[in-house]
Structure 1
Amino acid sequence: MKASVRAPFHGLASLAALATATMVANPALADDAPAAQDPAAAPTSAPAVGEIVVTAQRRAQSVMDVPLAISAVSAQGLAAKGVTNSANLAQAVPNLQVSTNFGAAQPNFSMRGISVANEYNSNQVSPVGVYMDDVYLAARASHGMGLFDLDRVEVLRGPQGTLFGRNTTGGAINFITRAPSLSGSNGYAEVGYGNFNTFTAQAAAETTLADDQVGLRAAVNYVKGDGQIHNVYPGGRDAMSQDTLQGRVALRIKPTGSGLDIKIRAYAGRDNPTGAGTIGLQSARAGLGFFDINEKNLGQFRTRAWGVAANVSYELSPAVTLTSITSYDGGSLDMGQNADGAPADILYINWKSNFRQFAEEARVNYSSDKLKLVAGVFYGWDRTITDNDFNIGSALGAGVNGGFFQHFRQSRFSIAGFTQGDYSLTRNLTLTLGGRYTSDKARYRDGYAYLFAGGFGAGETPLATTVPCVTAAGTCAYDPTARYNLDGNNNAFTGRAALSYKWDSGMLAYVSYNRGYRSGAFNGGSYTSSAGINFVKPETVNAYEVGLKGRALDRTLSFSTAAFYYDYSNQQLQDTRPGPVSILVNAPKSEIYGAEGEFTWTPSNRFSINGSIGLLHAKYKELTLQGTNLAGNDLPFAPHVTAQIGADVVLLDSGVDRVTLSPNVAYAGHQYFTPFNLTNAAGTAQNNAELQQDANAKVNGQITWQHANLQLRAWIKNAFNARTYAYGLDLRGAGFPYNFLVQSAPRTFGASAKVTF
């Protein structure tokens, strides 16, 4: 089954031509330059107006001076593109895709074709590292954050195995929140209303307790809305509602003359939407529109996240700064997912996990005329406790419900040392060398699972132990004391080498080699037999990249470009077989190459245009699943083309009132949701042609009226109601009579009012 959008997208050809002509790939889409968050080092040169200062290399630099493929998007840039949560981020970044079977609650990031593929278990980490204020967030359930009161988002494409560490084979995303400025008081309050009875509210307030020394900032975000996918089942709840509450507080202490800068940030949030709209059993789709469902057991996606972090920097001298980042985070998920899309008891899963993590990073920054050096050590620990419940209609026979209960506790420990230096060989030529050694240990403990009778709201009676049990489900007597334990360890050396040349005009060219690594993993999806609980090899990427970025047209055009080639080994994905039995395996070899470009052109203070394009070739060179050779197939969630183009047009500027129109179009090419692509494994009932998404374009826009400290805004997303899927999973190969597809959101629109002070 395919969903396609045939609406014309005349801007794509023009965008591609412009991107090629100007060689564009990684600009800052921003209105002003925010303050750097890490005072470890000053920018090597003062950033031009409109540029963003980033800390992608663990020191403050203008984004145009960083020899990396990086998109830095300011809070204003996010708002202009309608990016309100992390799941929308692909609208602003080339070669970034976001897929999810849990709506916005747990987004799966795919960067340049590298993703979790068909792996959906909560114990697995993303190969695209997600950070908040330089703090790594291990649990993917904590990645579905609402984006509020941010300074900027930095998206680093390509492996970041030196300064960011493990689990960044695809890249890294760093959400930088606003910290107290230590000057005066300020804040804002914004309320909005949209279709689906959606109410939004955001507010932030900052006060300076001692000028240039102590400041406090607090922010809150609230969203409440009805379901966006209509459920025709009598009394059934509509899918994809919104119910979010988040808060954050930041304290900054910078005693005068001490060299200390202390930032303490704490946050907490919860999300309680109804489950995603799913398409499963085809007979249940009779008479339904695309944005309709007929589901008896629509679940709710409950997630919680909280954490505290202390970033302490101490300037020993103008050349040397010490930084310590200490964090402790936690959270949970309790997600009821109807996996049959039907008004019947066929398959309902309750995913339930509890998360904790601690991390400490200590580093030193050294800066001289010739050398910019960062070196440090890292320790991280995270734990996942999982209790999943799989309710399967007729599992024990015709009309006899049953299922499986699964429990395990996973702990991971990571220790690393790293260093990276930029050495000026000449006034214009810089050599970058860096390395990181990581030691990872993992523990799978207290694992057990059993087959039960009942379920779907009824009592569950254990019948047979399935973990530990190496034979077929139901063949081992129930033993409530039986447990399964497993250890896994691996070490890795990753690094970076680059040469960059910066012309006196400011143009920067670079060539680089990066090696990335994603640690080995346990199979969290095996609950019908312990034979499938294994520890697979780590992923590795050898990445080669060239890039060019700079300014032109009297500095009204900023642009950057990159071309890359990846030798990608051991992608971790699921091999799903009848039973159902899911086995975590490695895809031995993949080849990825492509190019991307971004630009912002501001010919006047009344008009600005920005765009990006990503071109991608991502294929398996070696892969066998279910005994089927899949070499030559596309990696899942890896469209060959992604692009976006937007503008900011000032319709009125009287000096008192300013009206700005900001339209944009986001395009994604055809993509597959499964490594099988169109291939069906012999001897199965697979129909993998259902698991793909045609090329589509989504049109968004907003119009804003600014009058002194009052802003009124009207917005629309997916204006032409493009019908697309966000995710697809093969269930036919597991023995079910359907595949599983998740619908994306329909058209939404609304208005808001914001007051700043």
Structure 2
Amino acid sequence: MVLNSRKAGFFVGAVLLSSTAAVAQTAPAPAAEENVASTDIVVTAQRRAERLQEVPLAVTAMTSDDIKLRQINNTLDLVNYVPNLIGHNNTALGTANTYSLRGLANTESISTFDPPVGTYVDDIYISRQGANNFSFFDIERLEVLRGPQGTLFGRNTTGGAINVILRKPSDHITGYMDAGYGRYNRAQIRGSIDLPLNEKLLTKLSGYYTRADGYVKDRVTGQKLNGEESWGVRGALRALPSDTVTWDLAGSYTYSSVANLPNFRDAKTGERVSYTPFRNDRGLGAGLVSAGLADIPLGNVARSALVSSNLQIDVGDNAAINIITGYSYLRQKYMSDSFAGLSSASVVFDGVDFISGARGTSTPLVNDSWSKQFSQEIKVTGTTFGGFLSYVGGFYYVNERNWTNFANISVPLTGNPTVSGDRVMRNNTEAYAGYFQGDLHLTPKLTFTAGIRYTDEDKTITFTPNKSPLARSSAINQPFDTQDVLNAGIPTELRSKVWTPRFALNYKITPDVMVFGSVTKGFKSGGWNSRAYYASGAVAFTKETIWSYEGGIRSEFFDRKLRVNLTGFYFMDYDAQLPGGGYNPLTNTITYLTRNVADMENYGLEGEINLTPVRNFNLFWNFGLQHARYTNLNQATKDQIARCLAGNFANNCNTGIVTPTGGIGQPTRAPRFTSTLGANYSFDLGGGYSLQPSANWNYISGTWVSTSNDKAGFQPAHSLFNGGLTLASDAGWSVGVECSNCFNSTYKTSFLIYPYLNNPGTWMARVRYNF
């Protein structure tokens, strides 16, 4: 692949300009001050402990102090602080986050489609995004790796990876209690305690509970929707049987009941409203869906468990072996109403405001699913040849089993309800991988990195129709089983064998200024359009492959009071996988379509700047620039455009990446510019007390949230403001108040028939005690 002159000029010029500007600041630094600056942040972005400033990757890292100051209470809060990262709850599912990193996104929660941004908890990959909106209550560090991580992390990280590192048990008794109350009667309590049994056996117990009233008023049933009740517990054990062996064992269980049902902002009252006739305390009943789904009410409940084990054995002074074992379980039940009980043709919007609409059809999507995943990894890290070579290598195995029982029905305001699909799907994944990356320290300043991973992945799928009590929504939407899919010429097994290399070169201009360049390959395996209503629609899509080029600078100046990290990137993502859904007026149903649509190209610049000009005062600015577009359309997309332009509008125009007029849409959630500017300060009040204000401003330029660029799915540029004020005591007590989306900005996050809106602004008062 060859970069054209314009993109190559942007990429190289941005890096050289940033490097020149940074080196120009290497004048003698002023005398060091106590407690000034950016302390060392240690990350494991390359699967071993390293200083952030020495890693030739695009990494955003946050310590536990950053997490508290920036009000990062769950994974979704991360998006305000990572360049070119957009995130929101998935449609209907408040427990599930969908991320777009450098324009690579996934808005589909079903298990036959994998996310391009992988989530890891203590080195354990979490395959399913149904419960990836983790509540943070005992976190040591967060790392967001931008760009493909195809060598060391492997599976489904074409966009990047979110790495959550939980706090390990301490060797002394310590902990905290935290309680809060806020808007919508939100009540929250969190706590953790470390209890060492002896010097060789350390333990930890953590937990949280949250409840909140719904912020949506349903004008048909009178119920409040999109409330929350969640709780979780985690236990951790660290055994130190010898000076060379460390064993970390942890287990957690969470229950989360929180939905993201479609709702509207009433232009007259400012209220969030819905018109669905279904209730969150009553199932659909056996008259509408098959028996296994009849008792699921409106809303979303996810129960998840995670068990992890990491046995580290030090081998001499320069090497270690880690045996990493993980087991995760997710059970999720939900029911949504994508039409929200309204006639889509009658709804009038003014931007995000709902002006008017008439009652109409409801389209319940009912789901009961579970996922079980087992993974085993053996990792070796170390240095050899007198420090000339640093290496990471290992073997990885994962086995995932998924079972999904789901139905799509249509319930008109008058007339008989119909069914489009009601069936059980089973899909499994088994993958093996081996990987190795070596850093050759050619000189004290110059390091060459080369890595390779080989993945052998096998996926299978089966379909079994349920007995539905309803008539079909159209003649084509008929029950089907696995044999029907095979008869349609669609494979029920997909195999991927892929090599994913990485090469990088970094050079230390000074001890505090490093420049680097890299090229990386990643991939995301294929799957099936499993929400299809008939056998020939359950088409398979192939793997997605990305080649990414990066160059950047990692630099610190003025006794580390100023940190400037810049990264330029260019990538080509081949056979981009895209999930989408659209309204079919002929059947009054939603048609779901997932397939390879085209290649996607993107290039941009990312910056993270941190300044501590005086003691206890910190300023930061994170920004991202990007320019994404689709190119090299595949044949199915070309055929779709031809049908649309020929006048066959249904399922061809305004579907997938094809616009309402038959053009090609711009990639969703890929704004040209994102920025977060923030500050925090600690005023010493004397007597062991301090006052700690913090604030940040997040800006996102205009972007599409509709894959087909439906005009109702464009979100103009918008800003968010977050802030907090804490009174802290040296004795461990603190009281404070914080707000998220302080000025109650309303904007679009997704689109399916109607725009989905962000959560309204919230505030919370907290009290905390550290001991």
Q: Name the counterpart of 1:225.
A: 212
Q: How does 1:521-670 map to 2 (within 5 A)?
A: 521-526=527-532, 528-574=533-579, 576=581, 578=584, 580-623=590-633, 624=637, 626-627=640-641, 633-654=665-686, 656-670=688-702
CA 1:207 to 1:73, structure 2 compared with 1: closer, same or farther past 3 Å? same
Q: Give the deviation of 1:435 after TM superposition.
A: 0.3
Q: How does 1:731-746 map to 2 (within 5 A)?
A: 739-746=753-760
Aligned mates of 2:271, 2:632 — CA distance in 1: 36
Q: Name the counterpart of 1:112.
A: 102
Q: Tell me, what secondary structure is at the counterpart of 2:197?
A: strand
CA 1:465 to 1:644, structure 2 compared with 1: closer, same or farther past 3 Å? closer
Which range moves more in the overlay, 562-571 or 78-87?
78-87
Task: Give the structure, 1 or 2, with the largest relative contact order (CA under 8 Å, sep 6 or more).
Answer: 1
> Could you tell me whether the CA contact under 8 Å between 1:206 and 1:215 is conserved in 2?
yes
1:711 to 716, 734, 742: 734
Aligned mates of 1:20, 1:480 — CA distance in 2: 57
1:507 to 509, 513, 533: 513
Q: Name the counterpart of 2:750.
A: 727
1:435 to 412, 437, 452: 452
Residue 717 of structure 1 aligns to which amino acid in structure 2? S
> Could you tell me whether the CA contact under 8 Å between 2:247 and 2:312 is conserved in 1?
yes
CA 1:704 to 1:465, structure 2 compared with 1: closer, same or farther past 3 Å? closer
Q: Give the deviation of 1:465 after TM superposition.
A: 12
Q: Name the counterpart of 1:683.
A: none
Q: Give the deviation of 1:743 after TM superposition.
A: 1.7
Structure 1: tracts of 5 or more residues without a match: 1-17, 25-46, 453-460, 678-687, 730-738
> Could you tell me whether the CA contact under 8 Å between 1:240 and 1:277 is conserved in 2?
no
Q: Name the counterpart of 2:375.
A: 359
How many equivalent residue pairs?
A: 673
CA 1:710 to 1:297, structure 2 compared with 1: closer, same or farther past 3 Å? same
Aligned mates of 1:400, 1:408 — CA distance in 2: 23
Q: How does 1:282-431 map to 2 (within 5 A)?
A: 289=270, 291-297=272-278, 299-342=298-341, 345-368=361-384, 369-394=387-412, 398-431=415-448
Aligned mates of 1:235, 1:268 — CA distance in 2: 33
> Could you tell me whether the CA contact under 8 Å between 2:41 and 2:61 is conserved in 1?
yes
Q: Tell me, what secondary structure is at the counterpart of 1:76?
A: helix
CA 1:521 to 1:209, structure 2 compared with 1: closer, same or farther past 3 Å? same
Q: Name the counterpart of 1:74.
A: 63
Aligned mates of 1:449, 1:668 — CA distance in 2: 44
Q: Tell me, what secondary structure is at the counterpart of 2:577?
A: strand
Q: Give the deviation of 1:745 after TM superposition.
A: 1.1
Aligned mates of 1:341, 1:573 — CA distance in 2: 25
Confirm or deny that 1:187 pairs with 2:175. yes
Q: Name the counterpart of 1:139.
A: 128
Confirm or deny that 1:472 pairs with 2:507. no
Q: Give the deviation of 1:256 after TM superposition.
A: 3.0
Confirm or deny that 1:243 pairs with 2:215. no
Aligned mates of 2:268, 2:415 — CA distance in 1: 28
Q: Give the deviation of 1:652 after TM superposition.
A: 3.6
Aligned mates of 1:195, 1:322 — CA distance in 2: 48
TM-score normalised by length of structure 1: 0.84
Aligned mates of 1:562, 1:551 — CA distance in 2: 15
> Could you tell me whether the CA contact under 8 Å between 2:485 and 2:538 is conserved in 1?
no
1:673 to 705, 729, 735: 705
> Could you tell me whether the CA contact under 8 Å between 2:740 and 2:763 is conserved in 1?
yes
CA 1:555 to 1:359, structure 2 compared with 1: closer, same or farther past 3 Å? same
Structure 1 residues 434-479: Cα deviation after superposition (integer angstroms, max 9, x where no partner): 000101100102x033684xxxxxxxx165799xxxx8125x7x99
Residue 758 of structure 2 aligns to which amino acid in structure 1? S
Aligned mates of 1:419, 1:532 — CA distance in 2: 40
> Could you tell me whether the CA contact under 8 Å between 2:91 and 2:260 is conserved in 1?
no
Q: Tell me, what secondary structure is at the counterpart of 1:90?
A: helix
> Could you tell me whether the CA contact under 8 Å between 1:291 and 1:743 is conserved in 2?
no
Q: Name the counterpart of 2:354.
A: none
Confirm or deny that 1:207 pairs with 2:195. yes
> Could you tell me whether the CA contact under 8 Å between 1:361 and 1:376 is conserved in 2?
yes
Residue 383 of structure 1 aligns to which amino acid in structure 2? R
Aligned mates of 1:285, 1:481 — CA distance in 2: 49
Structure 1 residues 183-209: Cα deviation after superposition (integer angstroms, max 9, x where no partner): 211000010000100100000000112
> Could you tell me whether the CA contact under 8 Å between 1:363 and 1:374 is conserved in 2?
yes
1:216 to 185, 203, 216: 203
Structure 2: tracts of 5 or more residues without a match: 1-16, 24-35, 280-297, 342-358, 645-657
Q: Tell me, what secondary structure is at the counterpart of 1:272?
A: strand
Aligned mates of 2:20, 2:557 — CA distance in 1: 12
Confirm or deny that 1:699 pairs with 2:721. yes
Aligned mates of 1:651, 1:442 — CA distance in 2: 57
Aligned mates of 1:662, 1:480 — CA distance in 2: 56
> Could you tell me whether the CA contact under 8 Å between 2:399 and 2:429 is conserved in 1?
yes
Which range moves more in the overlay, 584-593 or 611-620?
584-593
Aligned mates of 2:664, 2:628 — CA distance in 1: 9
Aligned mates of 1:642, 1:481 — CA distance in 2: 48
> Could you tell me whether the CA contact under 8 Å between 2:38 and 2:560 is conserved in 1?
no
Residue 525 of structure 2 aligns to which amino acid in structure 1? S
Q: Tell me, what secondary structure is at the counterpart of 2:316?
A: coil
Residue 671 of structure 1 aligns to which amino acid in structure 2? T
Q: Give the deviation of 1:141 after TM superposition.
A: 0.8
CA 1:427 to 1:483, structure 2 compared with 1: closer, same or farther past 3 Å? closer
Structure 1 residues 312-338: Cα deviation after superposition (integer angstroms, max 9, x where no partner): 010111122111101111011111112
Q: Name the counterpart of 1:753.
A: 767
% identical aligned pairs? 27
Aligned mates of 1:742, 1:240 — CA distance in 2: 13
Structure 1 residues 706-743: Cα deviation after superposition (integer angstroms, max 9, x where no partner): 112101111011111101122112xxxxxxxxx23222
Q: Give the deviation of 1:576 after TM superposition.
A: 4.8
Aligned mates of 2:266, 2:610 — CA distance in 1: 44
Q: Tell me, what secondary structure is at the counterpart of 1:208?
A: coil
Q: Name the counterpart of 2:249.
A: 264
Q: Give the deviation of 1:103 after TM superposition.
A: 4.7
Which range moves more in the overlay, 401-410 or 312-321?
401-410
> Could you tell me whether the CA contact under 8 Å between 2:139 and 2:167 is conserved in 1?
yes
> Could you tell me whether the CA contact under 8 Å between 1:645 and 1:665 is conserved in 2?
yes
